[in-house]
Structure 1
Amino acid sequence: MTALQAATRETFWTIGPVGKAAFYWLAAVAVLAFGYGVYARFAAYARGREDPRDRLSNLPGRVVSATRTVLSNENQFDGDLYAGVMHTFVLWGFLVLLVATTILGIDIDVYRPLAGESFWVGDFYLVYQFAVDAFGLLFVVGVGMAMFRRYRERDGRLWGKHTSLEDDAFVWTLFLLGVGGFVLQAIGIVGQPARADEAVSFVGMAMAAGFEAAGLTTAGAEAIYGVVWWSHSLLAFAFIAWIPYAKPFHMISSFANVVARDETAGARLPNVPADLDHTNAESLDDFTWKELMDGDACTKCGRCTDACPADTVGRNLDPRDVILDLKAYRESVVDDPVAGRRDSGVATDGGVDGSATVSDGGTVPIVADEGGVIASESMESCMSCMACMDACPVDIEHLTSFTRMNRQLVDEGAVDSNLQDVFQDVMTKGNTFGESQSKRGDWADDLEFEVDDARETEVEYLWYVGDYPSFDDRNKKVARSLARLFEEADVEFGILFDDEKNDGNDVRRIGEEFLYLELAGHHVETFADCEFETIVCTDPHSYNTMRNEYPEVDFAEFADDPMMPFDREEPWNADGETDVLHWTQVVEELVDDGRLGLSGNELDYTVTYHDPCHLGRYNDEYEAPRELIRATGADLHEMPRSRSDSFCCGGGGGGLWAEHDEEVKPSEERLREALEDTDAGDGIEKFVVACPMCTTMFEDGRKTGGFEEDVEIVDVAELLIEAMEAGS
């Protein structure tokens, strides 16, 4: 038998029978501690309310999809190559070392007793050792990269109020386990001359050469091997037992979170049941099991906060801290079955720093102006742009929890007075301007043609115009431009005139769920009385809620409520038989069909385009507006933050109607980016938008930020009209 054929090594070298027995006893203790901890963690989620989404449907498919997502590290690579490489090295290194350890355990404890021999010899052993060294090295390099990023400077997105010693313990434990494994291997090579030709263990061999150069002898290696072996083993056992009780648990909960993700979360908010006893965020009991798991899945990476426009401009919102504050509060009451429950009825001490404590068996409020787990100002600062959710590598659904807390504030009448006025205007007038509904179609009076009434005439496109294009002078120009495009393309379209009300999208995200239900019910009943093929929306916000949320409303559950002004019991458009489109999607087809007579070289402006959150991140439509801009001949330059990374204008989530204490307005920051960070720089002549709210916010930011002489705000529809006129 050649040396290669006999290649192997003794696993318990220098470890006697008592040591082996102690090893297996400690291993059993570590595994039991791990198993109980994992069980306790998942059992705690059962305290949460049943999730309205079927999170576990097609579970095998979900697991396969989540496995592909996790193993590819695609979410970690998104926008951060360094983090992607680092996490890939750590993850794959850890998994290969785990599999290698499992294989060795099977050989020692199962195969050898049954077969009387080992399969951990010869070629298999050599391949095994090479894989362990290669992936072990990647693991150490990856952990080293993580430590470099964490400790290079003591600020940045990895640092915050929830950064603690457990973060240091986690990364240092991984590092010591990785390096310790190589140290143990190298000492074993020095102490076992038979392994001197084990070149496949290239890291171990290199370290062994170094130890020998430093004076370590065969006898010395044999003498210290047991101490190093036990140090490494005890650290590994401690780590296994510790996993469910601290940050390492994210290795399990993050995967579970990806399995349970809702692909339409945020764009499709969960409904509120018609239950008089229903509460939204009065206690932890109101949160679903998925929302509770979100807290455990959080790795504190800070990507959500880094992407958050509210945090960027100095508003009091840190998405990571909100999720971790809720988790910290949950952990502070987990040992008390009464604490955190709405029926405790006992006043408590608490704060908004994530360290809320329970006294006298009571609870702090989840969200409040003062003394709550979460400050109400934080929720009011949210723009509902979903940047946090898009950036999160473990699919935490921030907006679902944020909206729940907004609903609680509305229930308590604790929302901003400006928003209260908006609610009142929508309830009494049907629009956010407080204008008479009879004026809703007045924007069309200046057109040279009549706009059909879709309630009386069968049309191809039922055009939902929206509040701002109907009542705001600046956006009326956009509405007239779009009407002219439809007319030029000989499209049969009509509007609802005074039967069109506010769509409810942002009213809902501020937390006024029942007003939203009234609006949705009114519109679907109105739609039912009209004859049309497709609904076309001017505003991406309207497009989102009509496309994603109106079909989800259970009208039957509220049909008997005398407060609801609708009699409908059937769901609307549940099967998607009616297309709901944003106007850019419709006009893109018209341009492609040659119905607007554009040649593609009418204009020579240098422009940039701002992706509206509700069109882009919410509904994954990025190309239609860009194709229309290119169809005019304009030279389009992308801003650094574009497409799914687009920076919110500040108008979403009620931002259009509320006043905020911020260092700079989101719209001002976005315009600065367009003129300073875009490749064309101050050569940008027109800032192109495709959302009425964006138009409003950027026109305001253009004035307050001092950009009036630098750039013009123009809607895609206005750009198309100018191109048509230039080509005629």
Structure 2
Amino acid sequence: MSSFVLAQAGTETRPTFWRIGHVGEALFYYLAAVAVAIFLFGVYRRFATYARGADDPIDRLTDLPSRVLTAAKLVASNEKQFDRDLYAGVMHTFILWGFLTLLIATTILGIDMDLWTLVLGQPSFFVGDFYLAYSFVADAMGLLFVVGVGMAIYRRYWVRYGRLWGKHISTEDDLFVWTLFLLGVGGYVTEGVRILGTSATRDVSFETVSFVGWFVKDVLQAAGVTADAAAAAYPVVWWSHALLALAFVASVPYAKPFHMLSSYANLVTRDEDAGRRLPRVPEDASPEEIGPSEIEDFTWKQLLDHDACTKCGRCSSACPAKAAGRPLDPRDVILDLKSYREGLEAGDREEVDIVADGGTSVVDAETMESCMSCMACMDACPVDIEHVTQFTEMNRRLTESGQMNKNVEEAVMNVFQKGNTFGDPDRKRPDWTEELDFEVPDAREQDVEYLWYVGDYPSYDERNQHVARSLAKVFEEAGVSYGILYEDEQNDGNDIRRVGEEGLYEMVAEENIEAFQNCDYEKIVCTDPHSYNTFSNEYEQFGFEDGDSVYHYTQVVENLVNRGALGLSGTELDDTVTYHDPCHLGRYNGEFEAPREVVRATGVTLDEMPRNRDDSFCCGGGGGGLWMDFEEETKPSEERIREALEDTDAGPDVDRFVVACPMCMTMYEDGRKTGGYEDDIEITDVTELLVEAIEAKNERSGAGATSAAAD
């Protein structure tokens, strides 16, 4: 007897394997078993590849239940997809939840048919109200799935959205999106044909709950398709849909659909401190073992990163190096490495260097030198690929093989010989204090609340020396207990580490830690966000125990402002300004509000940049960019100033471009000149703005006192 289950009187259900027959049913289960076997073998091969990778220095499986739940929340909410792109967020939400619902619906049907009724011998629960609710939900969520895939097709092929195209976009991407579309539409066609075909032998009025399938049935009837014709065509329609679904299942581990698994695994095993805290080089590593020279040198997590990439291009569109025309596309680097590995596995690719200056390497040295270590790519990535860590390790390989950029090499040598990137003597480090009308305390000789790490640029660069003097004036005005290290201060090493010079980084870190330990202080305050980042997040690797007591100066000054230590009324200045979030303060360490609170406290009108906070656009100075020369279409600093003058609400009425980082100050002063904006806007540090407000307050107080005396 056919497995066509006719509804009993008053019982709503649907026929399963209608007109397929026992032989067809057996064939289907056989093909399903084959598809699952192919799927499992493919997954095994993928994980066998990861097992061949190097050990990861981070324990990525600690507190696994919490990791699994956190990753599930990220996937379920689609919050990373919504970031910067509402259209993509809605599209992916529809596809994800529609797909999951259809998968669950298929699983429920299988449980009823194979486990509940066949194995356990229980009456089917796929009837009555359960069936009606099931059909309605499946149709509704399936429709969202089709709409979501349709949105993807529209954006990819009609709009030809830029970031969805690139050198690694291939036929597999076309097959993936069109297969999803055909699966979604094919399911409804199959349902509509079934409803029409069975209408000749039973009452199908209750099938209106399957409103999309019912609509397809109506369309077929309007087109002249009879119930008998639908019944005759049903086996062909059903097998077409079933074979496509089984082929999709079998293909998952071998093509783009694998990201549905690898992306989730990547979220589970992510390191929340990736980028801001780089891994140490093992103490016993030889120069040949530092940085990847062959594919097996990448850790298993980095190989998983390569497979998790969905080719969405979010990292590429957020990358300031790519926007400036530098030879870096974060997506291409990740996919180049994946393609190289797959080529080796297939035997159609010869082994070459992973990264080298010229030649036939997988990644060119200039590509890695272009990275600004701004972490925009990582922030934009919806599956938490750790680009910066991998890029830094490739820079380590270039350093160890003697292929470092010459300008960077000069800065590195200056740090090695003189302790600063300028190559000036240590004794000149405190020269910036000489123009002050008070003496800056020496933290080596007296107890202080704040040990102030000034940094290279505020110490040696003339423009940034003014920023250092401004902060000293703020501390004096507020009566802060502070002191500096004078000539015992060394370069912080943050950017030295990110250009790949790990050995020198370890040396300066240990020297700075020793200098800190020779002082009696409660907290450390940094002028530079780069110093703040590495002291807070990385010096712990070398025995520094006070990382939680490190602050950026805007955080300290915000506290002074809030407790009234500077006596500001919030009406001192009346300029219109915009504020630039430094990467190492904002995106790296999540501090967005402290500098804004200080800026607002001066009385100015703060007009936000279109790209702000996490989405801030890098100045171009990070990752050694400050020391290198690139042929760029438009410098990141020039683009950012243009954005301030053209894309903010105030537009050309913005008087000042406010920064909170010495590197940003240097880059934007340069961009203001090279971009032709010298007469249009001023570059001002938060402390300079604050000192102006204090001076305006004091002038008013002095004028008030003079007036009172005259009276």
With normalisation by structure 1, the TM-score equals: 0.93
| CA positional deviation for 1:451 | 1.0
2:51 aligned residue:
46
Aligned counterparts of 1:375 and 1:240: Cα–Cα separation in 2 = 37
In the alignment, what sits opposite 2:316? 305
SS at match of 2:382: coil
Q: Is the 2:270–2:384 Cα contact (8 Å) retained in structure 1?
A: yes
Q: Tell me by how many angstroms 1:155 deviates.
A: 5.4
AA partner of residue 69 (structure 1): L
CA drift at 1:334 = 2.1
User: Is contact 1:687–1:713 with CA below 8 Å preserved after alignment?
Assistant: yes
Q: Is the contact made by 1:4 and 1:123 (CA closer than 8 Å) also made in structure 2?
A: no
Q: Is the partner of 1:535 in helix, strand or coil?
A: strand
Residue identity matched to 1:637: D
Query: 1:573 aligns to what?
Result: 545
Confirm whether residue 431 of structure 1 aligns to residue 420 of structure 2. yes
State the distance in 2 between where 1:445 and 1:5 align. 96
Q: Which residue of 19, 36, 48 maps to 1:31?
A: 36
Name the SS for the 1:652 alignment partner. Answer: coil
Find the counterpart in structure 2 of residue 138 from structure 1.
144
Aligned to 1:618: 588
Distance 2:8 2:198 in 1: 14
Structure 2 equivalent of residue 122 of structure 1: 128
In the alignment, what sits opposite 1:341? none
Aligned ranges 1:428-577 → 2 under 5 Å: 428-553=417-542, 571-573=543-545, 576=547
Letter in 1 for 2:82: F
User: For residues 229 and 449 of structure 1, do their structure 2 counterparts lie closer, same or farther at Cα, with a shift above 3 Å needed?
Assistant: same
Q: 1:264 aligns with which of 243, 248, 273?
A: 273
> 1-side partners of 2:618 and 2:299: how far apart?
28
Question: Compared with structure 1, are the counterparts of its residues 166 and 631 closer, same or farther at alpha carbon in structure 2 (3 Å cutoff)?
Answer: same
Please list the CA deviations of residues 333-376 of structure 1 after superposition, one character each: whole Å capped at 9, or x if unmatched: 1256xxxxxxxxxxxxxxxxxxxx534xx434444422110111
User: Could you list the per-position Cα deviations for residues 214-234 of structure 1 after superposition, in whole angstroms to 9, with x for gaps in the alignment?
Assistant: 111111011010000000000
Give the alignment's Cα RMSD to 1 decimal. Answer: 1.3
State the secondary structure of the residue aligned to 2:669: helix
Do 2:356 and 2:365's aligned partners in 1 also have CA atoms closer than 8 Å? yes
Partner of 1:609 in structure 2? 579
Q: What residue in structure 1 maps to residue 12 of structure 2?
A: 7
Structure 1 residue identity aligned to 2:234: Y
**SS of residue in 2 equivalent to 1:494:** strand
Letter in 1 for 2:93: T
Q: What is the Cα deviation at residue 199 of structure 1?
A: 1.3
Matched residue of 2:448: which SS? coil
Distance in 1 between residues matched to 2:279 and 2:495, nearest whole Å = 14
Matched, 1:296 2:339: no
Provide the identity percentage: 63
- Counterpart check, 1:358 vs 2:349: yes
**Does residue 684 of structure 2 align to residue 714 of structure 1?**
yes
The DSSP-based 3-state class of the residue aligned with 1:197 is: helix
Give the AA of the match of 2:515. Answer: T
Moved more, 195-204 or 481-490: 195-204
Q: Corresponding residue for 1:218?
A: 227
Q: How does 1:193-204 map to 2 (within 5 A)?
A: 193=199, 194=202, 195-204=204-213
C-alpha contact 2:12 2:206 (8 A) present in aligned 1: no
1:229 is aligned, of 238, 241, 245, to 238
Equivalent residue number for residue 186 of structure 1:
192
Measured in 2, the distance between the counterparts of 1:363 and 1:238 equals 35
Say whether 1:689 aligns with 2:659. Answer: yes
Is it true that 1:393 corresponds to 2:382 in the alignment? Answer: yes
Residue of structure 1 in register with 2:85 after alignment: 80
Match for 1:701 among 664, 671, 676?
671
SS of alignment partner, residue 209 of structure 2: coil
Cα distance in 2 between the residues matched to 1:116 and 1:258: 40
Matched residue SS, 2:207: coil
Give 3-state SS (helix, strand or coil) of 2:524's partner. Answer: strand
Letter in 2 for 1:358: R
Give the helix-richer structure, 1 or 2.
Answer: 2
Q: Which residue of 2 aligns with 1:556?
A: none
Q: What's the CA shift for 1:197?
A: 3.2
2:607 maps to which of 631, 637, 641: 637
8 A Cα contact 1:365 1:371, kept in partner: no
| Aligned match of 1:315 | 326
AA aligned to 1:111 is W
Partners of 1:377 and 1:306 lie apart in 2 by: 19
Mapped pair 1:168 → 2:157: no
Summarize the Cα distance change of 1:100–1:478 in structure 2 as closer, same or farther, 3 Å threshold.
same
Pairing 1:675–2:675 present: no
| Structure-1 separation of matches of 2:211 and 2:330 | 45
* Equivalent-residue separation in structure 2 for 1:271 and 1:47 (angstroms): 21
Post-superposition offset of 1:76: 0.4
Code of the residue aligned with 2:333 in structure 1: it is V
1:69 equivalent in structure 2:
74
Q: CA deviation at 1:2?
A: 10
2:552 counterpart residue number: 582
- Give the aligned partner of residue 708 of structure 2: none
In structure 1, what residue type is equivalent to 2:143?
L
Q: 1:153 Cα shift?
A: 3.6
Bigger Cα displacement from structure 2, 270-279 vs 240-249:
270-279
Aligned residue for 1:462, secondary structure, equals strand
- TM-fit CA distance, 1:295: 0.8
* Structure 2 equivalent of residue 568 of structure 1: none
Count residues in correspondence.
687
Deviations 1:73-110 (A, max 9, x none): 00000111100000000000000000000000000001
Residue 558 of structure 1: aligned partner? none
Counterpart for residue 97 of structure 2: 92
Letter in 2 for 1:695: M
Q: CA deviation at 1:47?
A: 1.2
TM-score, normalised to structure 2's length? 0.95
Equivalent in the alignment of 2:362: 373
Which runs of 5 or more residues in structure 1 are unaligned? 337-356, 554-570
Instruction: Letter of the 1:161 partner, please give it.
Output: K
In the superposition, relative to structure 1, how do residues 5 and 460 fare at CA in structure 2: closer, same or farther (>3 Å)? farther
1:5: Cα distance to partner?
4.5
Match of 2:695 in 1: 725
1:365-404 residue CA offsets vs partner (Å, 9 max, x unmatched) = 4444221101111101010000000000000010011001
Say if 2:292 is the partner of 1:281.
yes
CA distance in 1, matches of 2:309, 2:495: 27
| Residue from 623, 626, 630 that aligns with 1:660 | 630
Could you tell me which runs of 5 or more consecutive residues in structure 2 were left unpaired when the two chains were aligned: 1-5, 699-711
CA shift at 1:48, angstroms?
1.1
Q: Equivalent residue of 1:441, what SS?
A: helix
* 1:250 and 2:259 aligned: yes
Partners of 2:693 and 2:71 lie apart in 1 by 46
Counterpart residue type for residue 72 of structure 1 = S
Distance 2:321 2:603 in 1: 35
Whole-angstrom distance in 2 between the partners of 1:709 and 1:641: 23
User: For 2:550, what is the secondary structure of its paired residue?
Assistant: strand
Offset, 1:276? 3.8
Query: Are 1:130 and 1:201, in contact at CA under 8 Å, matched by a contact in 2?
Result: yes
Instruction: Indicate the SS of the match to 1:687.
Output: strand
- Contact 1:281/1:367 (<8 A) preserved: no
Q: Match of 1:572, as an amino acid?
A: F
Q: Distance in 2 between matches of 1:429 and 1:684?
A: 40
Q: Is the 8 A contact 1:7 1:122 kept in 2?
A: yes
Amino acid at match of 2:216: M
Paired with 2:651 and 2:77, the residues of 1 have a C-alpha distance of 36
